[in-house]
Structure 1
Amino acid sequence: MRVRDWRDILDDVAESSAAPDDWRAVAGDRHDGIGEDLYLGHPDAGVFQLKTYAKNPFEVQGVGTELARRIDDDLDPLFPERAGGRFGVQRGIEDGNDAEQAVKRLGSVVETHRDAPTTPGDFFEDVMDALDSPAYGPMEYDAYGRPDGLDHLADEFEEADRLLDADLDDLVDEGGVGHGFQ
């Protein structure tokens, strides 16, 4: 297992050739310490874990790793098929022309859904498609705690969870978080 910067893991997810709408995620507070845990999974691209924290309002730091190359039958039930939340991974827009095209596509989606009886899920899918999102799908998320799926995944990948926790704790200590103003 190779621990890397959390942004590198998201780059791997964004650059994968996996079907963008087959991703699923589980996220919530870390069990011990500040920050959040996030597991991303795709049947063909694998399972990834991220641990992040907000160093300040403008900077997120974290670590991550690839845990499995596929979602097997044991892991599949740990990821939501449907959930109250959704997530999407986006690439940065390269230039002004790309931004203008994205705005036009997004405007068209909004107009279409404004005039037609559609569901929030349909709207989300169309927005992600218009923005050419490389990864999106259902997400089990708890902003104030830990959803059950998060604990089950942490148990499944116990050693990786422990290593990532230690590396994130080192980042937190190096960043001086919790030490107040000096």
Structure 2
Amino acid sequence: MRVRDWQDILEDVMESNANPGDWRAVGGDRANGIGEDIYFGHPDAGVYQLKTYAKNPFEVQGVGSQVARRIDEDIDPLFPNDGSGIFGVQQGPEDEDDAKEKAKNLETVLETHADVPTSPQALLEDMMDAMDSPAYGPMEFDHHDRPDQMSDLTETFEEAEELLDAEFEDVIEEDVERGFY
């Protein structure tokens, strides 16, 4: 298992060529210390774990790794089929023309959904498709604690958790201690 910068892990997710709408996620507060834990899972792309914290309002620091190459029958129930929320991973537009095209596609989706009865899930899926999102799906996230599935995922990937936690503590220590001398 290779621990890398959290943004490199998101690049892996974006470049996985997995069906974008089949991703699922679970996230919440870290069990000990500042920051958040999040697991992204896809039946074909595997499971990725991130540990992040907001260094300041403009900068996020963190580490992550791929912790499983695929989701098996033991891991599958730990990811939501319907969550309390929905997440999406976005790539910025390549250029001005790409930005205009995505904006036009998004405008068309919103106009279409405004004219017919629809569900929030259907609207989000169509929006993600219009913006060529490489990954989106249901998410269970708790801003003040940890969802129950987080404990099970942490136990399932215990060795990865210990290694990522140690690396993450080094990142935090380096940033936080610098401000207190």
When the two structures are superposed, what TM-score results if normalisation uses the length of structure 2?
Answer: 0.97
Identity value in percent: 62
The reply to whether residue 88 of structure 1 matches residue 79 of structure 2 is no
Q: Distance in 2 between matches of 1:67 and 1:40?
A: 10
Show structure 2 runs of 5+ residues with no match: none
Tell me the equivalent position of 2:32.
32
Tell me the equivalent position of 2:147.
147
Q: Residue 176 of structure 1: SS of its match in structure 2?
A: helix
Q: Residue 50 of structure 2: SS of its match in structure 1?
A: strand
Tell me the equivalent position of 1:47.
47
Q: Over aligned residues, Cα RMSD in angstroms?
A: 1.2
The code of the aligned residue for 1:99 comes to A
Q: Distance in 2 between matches of 1:176 and 1:72?
A: 38
Tell me the equivalent position of 1:73.
73
Tell me the equivalent position of 1:162.
162
CA 108–177 in structure 1, closer or farther in 2 if over 3 Å, else same: farther
Show structure 1 runs of 5+ residues with no match: none
Contact 1:55 1:177 in 2 (8 A): no
Q: Distance in 1 between matches of 2:177 and 2:64?
A: 20
Q: Distance in 1 between matches of 2:133 and 2:54?
A: 24
In the TM superposition, what is the alpha-carbon distance from 1:84 to its structure 2 partner? 1.6
Q: Residue 138 of structure 1: SS of its match in structure 2?
A: strand
In the TM superposition, what is the alpha-carbon distance from 1:176 to its structure 2 partner? 1.9
Q: Residue 141 of structure 2: SS of its match in structure 1?
A: strand
In the TM superposition, what is the alpha-carbon distance from 1:172 to its structure 2 partner? 0.6
Q: Distance in 2 between matches of 1:175 and 1:76?
A: 36
Q: Deviations over 1:54-95 (max 9, x none)?
A: 111110010000011110001000100111200001111111
Q: Distance in 1 between matches of 2:179 and 2:150?
A: 29
In the TM superposition, what is the alpha-carbon distance from 1:115 to its structure 2 partner? 0.9
Tell me the equivalent position of 1:12.
12
Tell me the equivalent position of 1:115.
115
Tell me the equivalent position of 1:105.
105
Tell me the equivalent position of 1:133.
133
Q: Deviations over 1:37-67 (max 9, x none)?
A: 0000000100000000111111001000001
